[in-house]
Amino acid sequence: MAPQLTGAPGSAAAAGGASAALKPQFHHYHHHRLPARHHHHPSLLSKLAFWSVCSLSLLLAFLLLSPSSSSSPASRATDSPRRSLHASPATASYGGAAWEKKVRASARVRRANGGRAGLSVLVTGAAGFVGCHAAAALRRRGDGVLGLDNFNDYYDPALKRGRAALLARAGVYVVDGDIADADLLAKLFDVVPFTHVLHLAAQAGVRHALVDPMSYVRANVAGLVALLEAARAADPQPAIVWASSSSVYGLNSHVPFSEHDRTDRPASLYAATKKAGEEIAHVYNHIYGLSLTALRFFTVYGPWGRPDMAYFFFTRDILAGRPITVYESSGGGAHQTTISRDFTYIDDIVKGCIGALDTAGKSTGSGGKKRGPAPFRTYNLGNTSPVPVTQLVDLLEKMLKVKAERRIVKMPRNGDVPYTHANISLAQRELGYRPSTDLQTGLKKFVRWYLEYYNPELAVKQKQHGSSSGKASRGRNGSTSSAR
């Protein structure tokens, strides 16, 4: 992918229009409630009652479903808690012949894929990290791809716009809308008979759940239900592959983590909402015959990554000469001497996503009714070789040629788990998943992208001299503005 993109600034429509508009009617009702009981003005009163019921239902619907995410919703992942600027479903604009034409063109299959019919895939969270790479890979294969993303400001929306611009150049249209917008989803399924949904829209990030817990419920629970509702009502019903998380293993200490291990002891609200998603998916598979595949991603990293993840903001802070906080184990567990992650490179994850789409059996329902059993699958997508976070920092120092100022602290109780390690034999067997990128190789690609995107002068210098002065200059776009 061409790395140098400057994204247009993101726009998140302000929420609250619907509820604000309803307020006066609500007050009006209370003002006139007494006369209503005495039957003085029956027609006026029935009107008032009607509007009041409408107001309350809309307000309730708004509170329950409003603003989740398409990529990674909710509020900005900054150190200072801040309410999100969600795109309100009520304010989204779509429809019309030109819009439908664009949607259809993007979702149209270009080329059959190795003898099998090409897929037509709705990718939610397409302006997110994994979504952007997966959508581009599907398009390269000739599949039809339509993206959906709400471009929320959990982290710098300019990065999301940059990813969407990249997809636009590849012929993938990313609809600016929210997975909680039932009308929009119904419309999309109406316009395109999607064969598959790759559902990657979510509120990601483990530690941010302490700051904005409701954003996780809105995106990962209410948003998922909204998507599944639309999918079960669609005709034909698509098969759904979606992003769960390695974090569902929580306090599990049996390593490497296998799909058969316990997932009933999450350590964070994020993990709990992903686990809830897995249970909710089972319901839709059971009642409506939706084909459902959950992929448990293990700490995915790479170019165009998420600025709220440690490898990304460590890079930014090391270059800016700022200290980084590295957690060490508080001790006590079986393998808790070093905090480690099974870091998995983006290209490997994308191959796993595509393997899951290609092998997903069909949904069996139609018209909202189940006609027979449909596949229900869960796979780990990891790298199978955990690396201590301290070693990640060593590698970054070497690649950036800057010494990190490390502040070593005991891991706080912030939802993080000390260790992850995937057993991938099931994905290997059934999806043909074979990760092939070690952390050193993948991180090099990330660092190259990071420098070209945020700090092109330093990138050139490093390329020319094979070394930097050791004193990194500040990034063009991002060193200080990206959120974490």
Binding site for ligand UGA (CB under 6 A): 204-206, 245-247, 297-299, 309-310, 325-327, 339, 341, 389, 411, 416
CB of 476 to ligand UGA, least distance (A): 23
Closest CA to 468 of 418, 407, 401, 403: 401
Q: Which helix (H) or strand (E) segment is 225 a member of?
A: helix 224-233
By beta-carbon proximity to ligand UGA, the closer residue of 298 and 450 is 298
Beta carbon of residue 51, minimum distance to ligand UGA (angstroms, whole number)? 43
Residue 86 to residues 58, 161, 219, Cα–Cα distance (Å) = 17, 16, 11
Nearer to ligand UGA, 232 or 421 (CB): 421
> Of the two residues 245 and 315, which places its CB atom closer to ligand UGA in the complex?
245
CA 228, CA 221: separation in Å to the nearest integer? 11
CA distance 386 to 389: 9
Sign of the Cα torsion 211, 214, 215, 216 reads positive
Do 67 and 177 contact (CB within 8 A), yes or no?
A: no
Q: Which entry of 270, 284, 379, 454 is annotated as an active-site residue?
A: 270
SS3 of residue 149 by DSSP: strand
Query: Residue 422's beta-bridge partner residues?
Result: 257
The residue among 297 and 446 lying less far from ligand UGA, judged by its C-beta, is: 297
What is the spatial distance between Cα 320 and Cα 332, in angstroms, rounded to a whole number? 35
Both tokens of 28, joined, read 């009006």
Q: Which two tokens stand for residue 455?
A: 């700090």
CB of 325 to ligand UGA, least distance (A): 4
Nearer to ligand UGA, 297 or 433 (CB): 297
CB of 376 to ligand UGA, least distance (A): 20
Q: Is 433 a catalytic residue?
A: no
Are 95 and 175 spatial neighbours (Cβ–Cβ below 8 Å)?
A: no
Helix, strand, coil content of the chain in percent (nearest 5):
45, 15, 45
Strand 173-176 with 144-149, pairing: parallel
Q: Which residue, 377 or 421, has its beta carbon nearer to ligand UGA?
A: 421
Structure tokens at 228: 């599944």
Minimum distance of ligand UGA from residue 56's CB (angstroms): 36
- What distance in Å separates the CA atoms of residue 49 and residue 38, rounded to the nearest whole number? 14
Residue in the block written with tokens 């009308």: 183
Residue 264 has which token pair?
């009933």
Amino acid at 11: S
Residue nearer to ligand UGA on the CB measure, 298 or 446: 298
Closest approach, Cβ 93 to ligand UGA, in A, equals 30
d(CA 240, CA 313): 32
Segment (H or E) for 273: helix 269-288
Report, in Å, the least distance between residue 67 CB and ligand UGA. 19
Residue positions annotated with a catalytic role: 270
